[in-house]
């Protein structure tokens, strides 16, 4: 191991090419090279993992917030109904990715004489929009006619859940309750049925359309403006606490990630600096020898620099693979969706690693500059 | 001799010790800060999520079916059942009382605004504003104002029985402003002074917001509340949380009871308040649970990644620091030192360094985490809450000290081991010759 550093190995007559010195230095000082490579790989890996996660964080978080349901509500102004083509206009203005669900309301009387709010809606849309609805059994679209969902409190006021008889303006209808609905909110006191059947029975058309825009505050603001423009004369309002809370939490998580990124990069950077500079300083004797043999300052510096650069580059390639895998694993464990490797973080990682490596090579090189070769070689 | 060697090594090789020490210091600082943030992130995000309102609702069991569309009571029921306001202090006596951080009782009622020449109907709701609840150190100040940080108030919340705030749409419709007087009549009469306008973004914009006591007086129903919103810090629901406690074995039931699930807190609320039904508000509870779990999960995973990365980097630094000193090892061997005593010396050096830098890193890291937390989460929720629930003890998390220092020790010793072993294996004379 110490053999190549024995001065006798380098025959003065043979040409000392830079490539050869580098190769020998890396191969024969294996333990040290591996230490430095591990450190540089870790720094590149951490940077890759965090940057990849950071770039994907917005999407991931906004997706989680979508389970709060609608973020825009379109309602008719007091004592009016929404024009019949509103739903298609809303869908058109909000874009095809937006989820929309219409709601129409009427107060009917059950067979036990209790007043109950009955709502006509699109079950398929509601199921996607309001994921917090706990429904024992969603109606099967191809199943029995006139299905209904009974709110858990409303169900207490109904005699037979499979044959719910309701009366509205002396017109009666019999619904087949397929399941119970539990939300902990006003929905618990209502009965939900398909919109077509509801309108055919009561003649009431939707008064509320709930819209869910995917994306952050900017996307919601754009959609709001478009909806307001497309639908004059109706109220278009954001669900305020939802929109505000979401952007605050996303911003804060972002800041937190950013702080973590800097903190870890700094930590790893300092360790890499310690590792590399120790391995450079240790070779004061080689340095002195080369200087004594006539190596110029630039020549010697370039040896250190190239060595550091090779290690840094190798670290970036291995680190990128490991870091991408780590980001993928963290994402899969935490968000249950994949985060694919992003080549776009590579330049930044490369830059970071090269900066650390250069710093690590320059720092001891400056210390060495002032040393006298003769004194060093004598062992002082 | 041993101690002297140890001491001299620290005094004479300051540069080497400094580099390795700084590496450990930075590593422990980063790890402490990340872990400290990860342990407190749940509380912090929970506070942010408070804008979504309560996650548990309590109502009288014998209530009639509500006929409400868009928050407007279409057929206000008569002869409603009520909960007792005086029972609410019992909420702070349940097992998970400390997890309850906000309570907002309400009593809706219909009023008539009295003009000199007639009356107009007004919907009103009685609420708590900055209401103290509990006793001693566990007292919290709570109410509608605390539970709805997204409500925007222009003016001030009512402080006495004669004061009220008015919803923004109602204010425009009746042309009533802050400072106006509003004589109202229900079962009793009261002259109200408007102290502010509130924009809530929901049906309360159309209502007059009164102190609960005033609403009870006007409605002639002393001590009555018809609905209570509770904001509680809960554990996200899992399949065990969904089981019915009455079907569980006593031991399992005990475990279920002693976990802060929304379901078990609701169960405990039903136990202490007679005639009450309590339920989680699924929209808030379910989604908050996922968001909370995702963000804190992310922080934990990143902390673990940071721990691993810092460990690798610090071990690499330690390994080089020892490799550098093979000459010393060779010299000691040739002077007759046993392998064990040399190993002991080097381990003692690494250990001492790790201990010192670890403790320092813990202190720096805790400070850093507190600073970062305060900056990133500045102004979250109601400032009064944020300050009172984040005491100085949250800056230093004592549990982290042994964890961080032990990790630093393990990493430093594990990092030094291969280098020490390889140095000891070598023939002292060849090492010395190579370095001579």
CA neighbor of A101 nearest in space, from A121, A83, A82, A119? A121
Taking phi first (over 0 means left), then psi (-120 to 50 degrees means alpha), and beta for anything else, what does residue B168 get? alpha
Res B2: pLDDT:
73
pLDDT of residue B385: 40
Q: Can you give the pLDDT at residue B7?
A: 78
Cβ under 8 Å to B: A residues 301-340: 326, 330, 333-335
Residue B167 pLDDT class (50, 70, 90 cuts): very high
Q: Note the helical H segments in B235-338.
A: 250-257, 262-272, 282-323, 326-334
In sequence order, what are the beta bridge partners of A164? A175
| CA–CA gap between residue A212 and residue A217 (Å, rounded) | 12
Give the pLDDT band of residue B146 (cuts 50, 70, 90). confident
Between B128 and A95, name the one with better pLDDT: B128
pLDDT score of A163: 83
Instruction: Decide if pLDDT at B268 tops 50.
Output: yes
Higher pLDDT, B272 or A279: B272
pLDDT recorded at residue B329: 80
Partner-chain residue, chosen from B57, B282, B426, that has the shortest CB–CB distance to A134: B282
> Which residues in chain B (50-69) have CB-CB distances under 8 A to chain A?
51-53, 56-57, 64-69
Which pLDDT score, from 0 to 100, does residue B164 have? 92
The confidence score (pLDDT) of residue B76 equals 59
Give the pLDDT of residue B388.
39
Half-sphere exposure of B12 (CA within 13 A, CB side): 7
B377 part of contact set with chain A, CB < 8 Å: yes
Interatomic CA distance for residues A182 and A152, integer angstroms: 6
Distance (Å) from the alpha carbon of B420 to chain A's nearest alpha carbon: 12
Could you say which of A39, A189, A264 has the minimum Cβ distance to residue B30?
Answer: A264
Encoded tokens for B347: 């381990």
Q: Look at residue B198 in the predicted model and tell me its pLDDT.
A: 92
State mean pLDDT over B60-74.
73
Nearest Cα to Cα of residue B396 among B353, B361, B366, B429? B366
| pLDDT at B111 > cutoff 60 | yes
Structure-token match 């870091």, residue found: A323
CA distance A167 to A78: 25
Strands B207-211 vs B118-127: parallel, antiparallel or unpaired = parallel
Whether B187 has a pLDDT exceeding 90, the answer reads no
CA nearest to B13, candidates A160, A100, A281: A281
pLDDT of residue B228: 92
**Angle between the N-to-C axes of helices A30-65 and A297-335, in degrees from 0 to 180, rounded to the nearest 10:** 40
| Interface mutation target, options B290, B305, B420, chain A, most CBs of A under 10 Å | B305
What is the predicted pLDDT for the residue at A379?
Answer: 57
CB contact under 8 A, B30 and A182: no
State phi, psi for A140 to the nearest 5 degrees. Answer: -85, 120
Touching B: A residues 2-31, CB under 8 Å: 2, 5-6, 31
Return the pLDDT at B211. Answer: 93
pLDDT tens series, chain A, 380 aa: 344 444 444 444 445 676 777 777 777 667 677 877 888 888 888 889 888 888 888 888 888 888 888 888 888 876 677 888 888 888 888 888 888 999 998 888 888 788 889 999 998 889 888 888 888 888 877 767 788 899 988 888 887 878 888 888 888 888 888 889 988 888 888 999 998 889 989 888 888 899 998 877 888 888 889 888 888 888 888 887 777 778 888 888 888 888 888 888 888 778 777 777 776 666 777 777 777 787 777 777 777 788 888 888 999 999 999 999 988 998 888 888 888 888 888 898 899 888 888 887 777 666 666 666 676 666 55
Residue B123: partners with Cβ closer than 8 Å, 6 or more residues away: B72, B73, B108, B110, B111, B206, B207, B208
**What residue of B is the nearest CA neighbor of A238?**
B201
Sole residue written with tokens 């994949």: A338
User: pLDDT tens, B276-329?
Assistant: 888 888 888 888 888 888 888 888 888 888 888 888 877 877 777 777 777 778
- Dist CA B329 CA B337 (whole Å): 9
Percent over 70 (pLDDT), chain B: 91
B370-to-B36, B44, B364 alpha-carbon distances in Å:
8, 12, 10
Residue B381: pLDDT band (50, 70, 90) is: very low
Using CA coordinates, name the residue in chain A closest to B201: A240
Using 50, 70 and 90 to split pLDDT, how confident is the model at B177? Answer: confident
Among B23-32, B90-99, B378-387, whose mean pLDDT is lowest? B378-387
- In chain A, residues with a C-beta closer than 8 Å to the C-beta of B65 are 114-116, 153-154, 156-157, 189
Question: What does the alpha-carbon distance between residue A58 and residue A60 come to, in Å, rounded to a whole number?
Answer: 5
- Long-range contact pairs involving B7-10 (C-beta distance under 8 Å, separation at least 24): B9/B345, B9/B349, B10/B349, B10/B352
Interchain CB distance below 8 Å, B295 and A67: no
The DSSP call for residue A143 is: S
User: How far A150 CA lies from chain B's nearest CA (Å)?
Assistant: 13
DSSP 3-state of B248 = coil
Lookup: tokens for B177: 């402003």
Residue B374 has pLDDT above 50, yes or no: yes
Contacts of B291 in chain A (CB under 8 A): 61, 64-65, 249
Please give the angle made by the CA atoms of B32, B410 and B350, to the nearest 5 degrees.
100
Secondary structure of residue A166 in the 3-state scheme: strand
pLDDT score of B384 = 36
Q: What is the mean pLDDT of chain B?
A: 82
Determine what percent of chain B falls in helix, strand and coil, rounding each to the nearest 5.
55, 20, 25
**Confidence band (pLDDT; 50, 70, 90) for B383?**
very low
* pLDDT (0 to 100) of residue B377: 77
Can you tell me the distance from the alpha carbon of B302 to that of B38, in angstroms, rounded to the nearest whole number?
9
Q: What is the pLDDT of residue B78?
A: 56
The answer for B 21-40 residues in CB contact with A (under 8 A) is: 22-23, 26-27, 29-30, 33-34, 37
How does pLDDT run across B34-45, given as a tens digit for each residue?
888 888 888 788
Spans of all domains in chain A:
3-64+248-377, 68-239
Residue B276, φ and ψ in degrees, nearest 5: -105, 145
Structure tokens at A266: 């700094």
Report yes or no: A331 and A56 within 8 Å, Cβ to Cβ.
Answer: yes
B380 part of contact set with chain A, CB < 8 Å: yes
Which pLDDT score, from 0 to 100, does residue B71 have?
Answer: 66
Say if A272 is an interface residue toward chain B (CB within 8 Å): yes
Pairwise CB contact (< 8 Å): A256 & B53: no
Task: Give the angle subtended at the CA of B156 by the CAs of B150 and B162, to the nearest 5°.
Answer: 120
């Amino acid at each position: 191991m110490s053999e190549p550093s024995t001065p006798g190995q380098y025959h003065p007559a043979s040409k000392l090419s830079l490539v050869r010195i580098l190769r020998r230095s890396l191969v024969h000082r294996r333990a040290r090279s591996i230490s430095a490579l591990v450190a540089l790989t870790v720094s590149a890996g951490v940077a890759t993992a965090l940057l990849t996660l950071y770039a994907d964080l917005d999407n991931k978080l906004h997706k989680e917030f979508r389970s709060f349901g609608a973020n825009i509500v379109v309602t008719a102004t007091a004592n009016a109904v929404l024009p019949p083509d509103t739903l298609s206009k809303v869908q058109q203005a909000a874009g095809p990715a937006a989820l929309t669900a219409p709601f129409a309301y009427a107060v009917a009387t059950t067979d036990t004489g209790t007043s109950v709010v009955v709502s006509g809606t699109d079950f398929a849309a509601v199921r996607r929009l309001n994921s917090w609805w706990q429904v024992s059994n969603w109606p099967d679209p191809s199943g029995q006619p006139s299905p209904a969902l009974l709110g858990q409190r409303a169900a207490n006021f109904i005699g037979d859940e499979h044959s719910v008889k309701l009366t509205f303006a002396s017109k009666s209808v019999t619904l087949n309750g397929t399941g119970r609905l539990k939300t902990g909110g006003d929905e618990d006191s209502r009965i939900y049925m398909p919109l077509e059947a509801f309108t055919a029975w009561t003649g009431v058309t939707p008064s509320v359309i709930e819209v869910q825009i995917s994306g952050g505050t900017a996307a919601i603001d754009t959609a709001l403006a478009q909806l307001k423009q497309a639908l004059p004369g109706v109220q278009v309002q954001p669900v305020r606490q939802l929109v505000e809370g979401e952007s605050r939490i996303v911003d804060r998580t972002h800041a937190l990630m950013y702080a973590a990124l800097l903190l870890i990069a700094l930590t790893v950077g300092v360790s890499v600096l310690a590792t590399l500079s120790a391995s450079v300083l240790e070779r004061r004797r080689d340095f002195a020898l080369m200087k004594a043999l006539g190596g110029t300052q630039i020549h010697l510096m370039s040896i250190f620099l190239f060595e550091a650069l090779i290690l840094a580059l190798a670290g970036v390639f291995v680190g990128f693979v490991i870091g991408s895998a780590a980001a993928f694993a963290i994402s899969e464990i935490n968000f249950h969706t994949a985060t694919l490797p992003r080549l776009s973080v590579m330049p930044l990682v490369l830059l970071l690693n090269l900066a650390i490596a250069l710093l690590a090579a320059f720092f001891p090189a400056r210390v060495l500059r002032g040393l006298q070769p003769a004194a060093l070689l004598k062992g002082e | 001799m041993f101690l002297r060697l140890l001491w001299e090594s620290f005094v004479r090789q300051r540069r080497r010790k400094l580099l390795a020490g700084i590496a450990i210091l930075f590593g422990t600082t980063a790890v402490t800060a990340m872990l400290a943030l990860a342990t407190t992130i749940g509380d912090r995000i929970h506070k942010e999520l408070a804008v979504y309102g309560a996650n548990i609702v309590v109502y009288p069991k014998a209530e009639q079916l509500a006929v409400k569309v868009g928050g407007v009571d279409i057929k206000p029921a008569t002869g409603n059942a009520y909960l007792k306001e005086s029972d609410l202090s019992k909420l702070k006596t349940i097992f998970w009382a400390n997890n309850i951080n906000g309570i907002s009782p309400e009593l809706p009622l219909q009023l008539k605004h009295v003009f000199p020449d007639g009356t107009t109907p007004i919907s009103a709701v009685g609420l708590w504003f900055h209401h103290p609840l509990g006793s001693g150190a566990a007292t919290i100040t709570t109410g509608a104002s605390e539970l709805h940080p997204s409500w925007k108030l222009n003016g001030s919340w009512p402080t006495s029985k004669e004061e009220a705030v008015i919803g923004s749409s109602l204010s425009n419709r009746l042309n009533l402003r802050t400072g106006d007087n509003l004589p109202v009549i229900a079962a009793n009469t009261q002259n109200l002074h408007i102290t502010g306008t509130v924009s809530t973004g929901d049906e309360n914009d159309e209502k007059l917001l009164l102190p609960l006591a005033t609403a009870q007086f006007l409605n002639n129903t002393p001590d009555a509340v018809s609905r209570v919103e509770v904001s509680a810090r809960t554990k996200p629901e899992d399949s065990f949380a969904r089981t019915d406690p009455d079907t569980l074995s006593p031991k399992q039931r005990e475990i279920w009871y002693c976990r802060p699930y929304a379901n078990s807190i609701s169960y405990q609320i039903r136990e202490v308040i007679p005639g009450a039904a309590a339920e989680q508000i699924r929209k808030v509870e379910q989604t908050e649970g996922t968001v909370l779990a995702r963000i804190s999960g992310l922080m934990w995973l990143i902390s673990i990644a940071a721990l691993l990365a810092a460990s690798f980097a610090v071990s690499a630094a330690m390994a080089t620091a020892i490799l550098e000193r093979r000459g010393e090892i060779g010299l000691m061997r040739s002077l007759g030192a046993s392998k064990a005593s040399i190993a002991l010396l080097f381990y003692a050096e690494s250990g001492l360094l790790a201990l010192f830098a670890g403790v320092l890193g813990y202190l720096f890291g805790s400070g850093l985490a507190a600073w970062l937390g305060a900056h990133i989460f500045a102004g979250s929720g109601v400032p009064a809450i944020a300050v009172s629930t984040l005491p100085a003890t949250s800056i230093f998390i004592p549990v982290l000290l042994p964890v961080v220092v032990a990790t630093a020790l393990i990493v430093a010793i594990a990092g030094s081991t291969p280098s020490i072993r390889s140095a000891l294996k070598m023939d002292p004379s060849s090492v010395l010759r190579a370095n001579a």
